[in-house]
Structure 1
Amino acid sequence: MNLTEKDLELLNSKDGLYALLKSRKVNLGKALEETVYAHEMNKKQEELIKLQNWVIQNDKKIVVIFEGRDAAGKGGAIRRLTERINPRHFRSVALNIPSDDERKQWFFQRYINQLPNPGEIVLFDRSWYNRAVVEPVNGFCTEEEYNIFMSQVNEFEKMLIQSNTYLVKFYFSITKKEQARRFRDIKKSPLKRWKMTSVDERAQELWDSYTRYKEKMFEVTNTEHAPWVIVDANKKTHARLEAIKHILKTIPYT
């Protein structure tokens, strides 16, 4: 493998030496790729700190939604996005199954309760868009509830944006083959096995149904004021960087 002077400099860095020495068999190509990713991620995380400082100092509000199929890497992207910023000024929200009282409320109410205060960033690991895809596919809502949601969501998001809130909507897209591979890895790992739910177990079987509802969601809710950003998530490192780059490009921090 022919290495440039810049490649050698990267491999001699702290991240490069770690990538080289973490396994018994040295793979220069893989180590260089990991080092380039780590170097790029560090730079983007420095910018995220600047963005958060701008949010705090100017009482801004940011909502970032992470949607996508099961095992698409949403949680990992959120962790990379937040691991260097001030934990007192962001929240990561992954709501549980609604309680009996929440089921009787207006659907959006429990999400409204999680929206950011001035000077805060909130990241949703799945959001109100559960009702657009996961719930109808798995029979967790009625057709009427689904139709009401689809008729209200665009106006809800417009009101959110008009209240001086920045809204970013990510959809992490993976192939059926990649999802199956990730499920196998999760099941093999004692540290990850807890991630598999009964919904995950049926994801491959219901793939086409998920696709139909996903496409309907894009058709109806990809609006000018709140467009979807589709991220190719077959490679996790690429997806994480692309999501962070888009946030830095979209939010006009100084």
Structure 2
Amino acid sequence: MKRSLYEDLLEPLELELVAMARWAKAKGERICVLFEGRDTAGKGGTIKAIADRVNPRQLRTVALPAPNEHERSQWYFQRYVPHLPAAGEIVLFDRSWYNRAGVERVMGFASEEEVTAFLHQAPIFEKLLVDDGIRLFKYWLACDQEHQEERFAERLDDPLKRWKLSPIDARARSHYADYTRAREAMFAATHTPYAPWTVVDYNDQKHGRLTLIRDLLDRLPETYVAETPIDWPTLDHPPLKEHFGALQPIRSYPLPDR
């Protein structure tokens, strides 16, 4: 999809996202969205597209690092609980508690006993969240290995994106089929009527973003809340110029001749 078309289609969705946030604040709604998928699927770009126009005081992105020794001794879900949304908040999880069913299982960071316990407990944990009024959405961003390899190569060649690669990414490339099996076991155990999984095709990332955002908005109730009018007075004097006293702005960044 060409960027110009993508931006034209994204703009009305951005307006709806802002309206959604206004509704969530007015009604005290708690919205929690989980983004899962293979490496390079497009989680970060989608989260940025959703968050870009929404008040950052109201929307939070959670991307937890690997657990430390203290966290590994806790109940598995414990470190995620403090990040859940309060009234009027929207929380986007860039990977979530489902790390245990995916990367931890495939790469050997969790035992089969721990994975089995997780797959049993996750639906119970999510039922508690939903019963308490949290609106929980779980998205799986799907991409074929051919597209994944193309994106790995792009990151490797781009110094601005190389930070996204890790030794785990390099090792995980040979486990594509293992990740598929782990994902299917995860779906079988945790796809429930109250917290279903939604799979989105992300072989075309721009199309995938539009599809996911549209789906998220469509699954919410009517979100119209009138904007609060602002009484914006006119200036009673001509606009003033900026003054810095003894301090002066630094020299402007040099622009090339066109």
Question: TM-score, with normalisation over the residues of structure 2?
Answer: 0.85
> In the TM superposition, what whole-angstrom CA distance separates every residue of 1:58-77 from its partner, at most 9, and x where no partner exists?
11100000000000000000
Report matched runs for 1:95-134 at 5 Å: 95-134=64-103
Report matched runs for 1:87-98 at 5 Å: 87-98=56-67
Aligned counterparts of 2:68 and 2:25: Cα–Cα separation in 1? 33
Q: Please give the root-mean-square deviation of Cα atoms over the aligned residues, in Å.
A: 0.9
Structure 2 match to 1:148: 117
Aligned counterparts of 2:38 and 2:72: Cα–Cα separation in 1? 24
Structure 2 match to 1:78: 47
Structure 2 match to 1:179: 148
Aligned counterparts of 1:170 and 1:43: Cα–Cα separation in 2? 22
Structure 2 match to 1:6: none
Structure 2 match to 1:42: 11
SS in 1 for 2:116: helix
Report matched runs for 1:204-223 at 5 Å: 204-223=173-192
Aligned counterparts of 2:171 and 2:188: Cα–Cα separation in 1? 25
Aligned counterparts of 2:4 and 2:14: Cα–Cα separation in 1? 15
What displacement does 1:203 show? 2.2
What displacement does 1:36 show? 2.3
Q: Are 2:102 and 1:159 equivalent residues in the alignment? A: no
Structure 2 match to 1:248: 217
Structure 2 match to 1:55: 24
Question: TM-score, with normalisation over the residues of structure 1?
Answer: 0.86
> In the TM superposition, what whole-angstrom CA distance separates every residue of 1:207-226 from its partner, at most 9, and x where no partner exists?
11111101111111111111
Structure 2 match to 1:197: 166
Compare CA radii of gyration and give the structure with the larger one: 2
What displacement does 1:142 show? 1.1
1:197 maps to amino acid? S
Number of corresponding residues: 223
1:96 maps to amino acid? P
Segments of 5+ residues of structure 2 without an aligned counterpart are: 225-258
1:239 maps to amino acid? G
What displacement does 1:197 show? 0.8
Segments of 5+ residues of structure 1 without an aligned counterpart are: 1-29
- Which one has the bigger helix percentage? 1
1:40 maps to amino acid? L
Aligned counterparts of 2:183 and 2:168: Cα–Cα separation in 1? 16
Structure 2 match to 1:239: 208
